[in-house]
Chain A
Amino acid sequence: MEFKEQTACSLFRLFEQGEISAVEIIKNFREFQGQRDKDLKAFVKTSWKRAEKKARALDEKRKRGEDLPPLSAVPIAIKDNIARLRETMTCSSNFLKGFFPGYSATVVEKLEEAGALIIGRTNMDEMAMGSTTETSVYHPTRNPHNLGKTPGGSSGGSAAAVGGGIVPVALGSETGGSVRQPASFCGNYGLRPTYGRISRFGLAAYASSLDQIGLFARDPDDLWRVFGVLAGKDKKDSTTVSGKGLERKGEAFDPEEIRVAFPREYMELVEDGEVEKRTFEVVEKLEKAGIKVEEISLTDPKKALGVYSVIATAEASSNLARFDGLRFGKGIEGEKNWEELIKKNREVGFGQEVKNRILLGTLFLSSQYREKFYDRAVQVRKEITQELDQLFCNFDLILSPATPMPAFNLGSRIESSLEKIMSDIMAIPGSLAGLPAISLPMGLNSEGLPLGLQLMAPRWKEGRLIDFSQFIREITGYREELKYFSEGGSE
Chain B
Amino acid sequence: MMEKEFKTIIGLEIHLQLKTLSKMFCSCSTEFAAPANTNTCPVCLGWPGTLPSVNQKAVLFGLKGALALNCRINRESGFDRKNYFYPDLPKGFQITQYARPLGFEGFFTLGEKNIGIRRVHLEEDAGRTIYNQGNGEIDFNRAGIPLVEIVTEPDIESPGEARDFLKDLRLLILYLGISDCSMEEGSFRCDANISLKGEEEKISQNQVELKNLNSFQAIFRALEYEEKRQKKALLDGEEIKGETRGWDEKEGKTFLLREKGKKEDYRYFPEPDLPDLILRQDLIGSVAEDIPEPPMQREKRWQEEWGIGKEETGVLISDKAKADYFEKAANFASPKEVAKWIKEHLYAHVFPLEIPPEYLSEIIKMVEEGDLSFPQGKEVLKETLETGRKPGEIIDDKGWKQISNQEYIEELIEEIIENNPGVVQDYLAGKEKAIQNLMGKGMKKSEGQANPQTLRSLLEERLKGREEDG
Residues of A within 8 A of B (CB): 81-83, 89, 91, 96, 99, 101-103, 105, 200-205, 207-209, 235-239, 314-315, 317-318, 320-324, 326-328, 338-339, 342, 362, 365-367, 370, 374
In this complex, what residue of B is CB-closest to A105? B49
Shortest distance from the beta carbon of B95 to any chain A beta carbon, whole Å: 11
Q: Which of B40-48, B156-164, B185-193 contacts A (4 or more CB under 8 A)?
A: B40-48
Number of A-B contacts (CB under 8 A): 106
In this complex, what residue of A is CB-closest to B127? A327
Q: Is the CB of B49 within 8 A of A201?
A: yes
Q: Please give, as numbers and ranges, the residues of chain A lying within 8 Å of B138 by CB-CB distance.
A: 326
Q: Is the CB of B90 within 8 A of A204?
A: no
Q: Is the CB of B54 within 8 A of A321?
A: no
B216 at the interface (CB under 8 A from A): no
- Counting contact residues on chain B (CB < 8 A from A), the size range is 20 to 34
Q: Is the CB of B83 within 8 A of A326?
A: no
Q: How far is the CA of A317 from the CA of B138 in the complex (A)?
A: 24
Q: Is the CB of B92 within 8 A of A321?
A: yes
Q: Please give, as numbers and ranges, the residues of chain B lying within 8 Å of A200 by CB-CB distance.
A: 51
B365 at the interface (CB under 8 A from A): no
Q: Is the CB of A238 within 8 A of B273?
A: yes
In this complex, what residue of B is CB-closest to A341? B87
In this complex, what residue of B is CB-closest to A90? B48
Contact of A204 among B45, B49, B140, B275 (CB under 8 A): B49
Q: How far is the CA of A339 from the CA of B275 in the complex (A)?
A: 33
Q: Please give, as numbers and ranges, the residues of chain A lying within 8 Å of B274 by CB-CB distance.
A: 238-239
List 5 tightest A-B contacts by C-beta distance, closest first: A321-B92, A208-B272, A365-B267, A209-B272, A204-B48
Shortest distance from the beta carbon of A29 to any chain B beta carbon, whole Å: 27
Q: How far is the CA of A205 from the CA of B46 in the complex (A)?
A: 11
Q: Is the CB of B54 within 8 A of A238?
A: yes
Contact of B92 among A101, A236, A239, A318 (CB under 8 A): A318
Q: Is the CB of A318 within 8 A of B81?
A: yes
B91 at the interface (CB under 8 A from A): yes
B53 at the interface (CB under 8 A from A): yes
In this complex, what residue of A is CB-closest to B81? A318
B50 at the interface (CB under 8 A from A): yes
B200 at the interface (CB under 8 A from A): no
B136 at the interface (CB under 8 A from A): yes
Shortest distance from the beta carbon of B431 to any chain A beta carbon, whole Å: 90
Say whether, besides A208-B272, A238-B53, A318-B92, A96 and B267 are in contact (CB < 8 Å). no
Shortest distance from the beta carbon of A229 to any chain B beta carbon, whole Å: 19
Q: Please give, as numbers and ranges, the residues of chain B lying within 8 Å of A367 by CB-CB distance.
A: 265, 267
Q: Is the CB of A324 within 8 A of B87?
A: yes
**CB<8 Å pairs between A and B, sample of 17:** A82-B49, A91-B48, A101-B42, A202-B50, A321-B83, A321-B85, A321-B93, A322-B48, A322-B92, A327-B45, A327-B46, A327-B140, A342-B87, A362-B267, A365-B83, A365-B269, A366-B265
Q: Please give, as numbers and ranges, the residues of chain A lying within 8 Å of B91 by CB-CB distance.
A: 321-322
Query: Which residues of chain B (248-274) have a CB below 8 Å from chain A?
Result: 265, 267, 269, 272-274
Shortest distance from the beta carbon of B233 to any chain A beta carbon, whole Å: 31
Residues of B within 8 A of A (CB): 42, 45-54, 81, 83, 85, 87, 90-93, 136, 138, 140, 265, 267, 269, 272-275
Say whether, besides A91-B48, A205-B49, A237-B51, A338 and B267 are in contact (CB < 8 Å). no
Say whether, besides A83-B49, A91-B48, A318-B93, A238 and B275 are in contact (CB < 8 Å). yes
Q: Is the CB of B48 within 8 A of A89?
A: yes
Q: Is the CB of A342 within 8 A of B269?
A: no
In this complex, what residue of A is CB-closest to B40? A327
Q: Please give, as numbers and ranges, the residues of chain B lying within 8 Å of A365 by CB-CB distance.
A: 83, 267, 269
Q: Please give, as numbers and ranges, the residues of chain B lying within 8 Å of A320 by CB-CB distance.
A: 92
Q: Is the CB of B47 within 8 A of A201?
A: no
Q: How far is the CA of A236 from the CA of B51 in the complex (A)?
A: 7
Q: How far is the CA of A342 from the CA of B275 in the complex (A)?
A: 31
Shortest distance from the beta carbon of B46 to any chain A beta carbon, whole Å: 4
Shortest distance from the beta carbon of B327 to any chain A beta carbon, whole Å: 41
In this complex, what residue of B is CB-closest to A339? B85
Q: Is the CB of A324 within 8 A of B269?
A: no
Q: Is the CB of A101 within 8 A of B48?
A: yes
Q: Is the CB of A202 within 8 A of B49?
A: yes
Q: Please give, as numbers and ranges, the residues of chain B lying within 8 Å of A91 by CB-CB distance.
A: 48
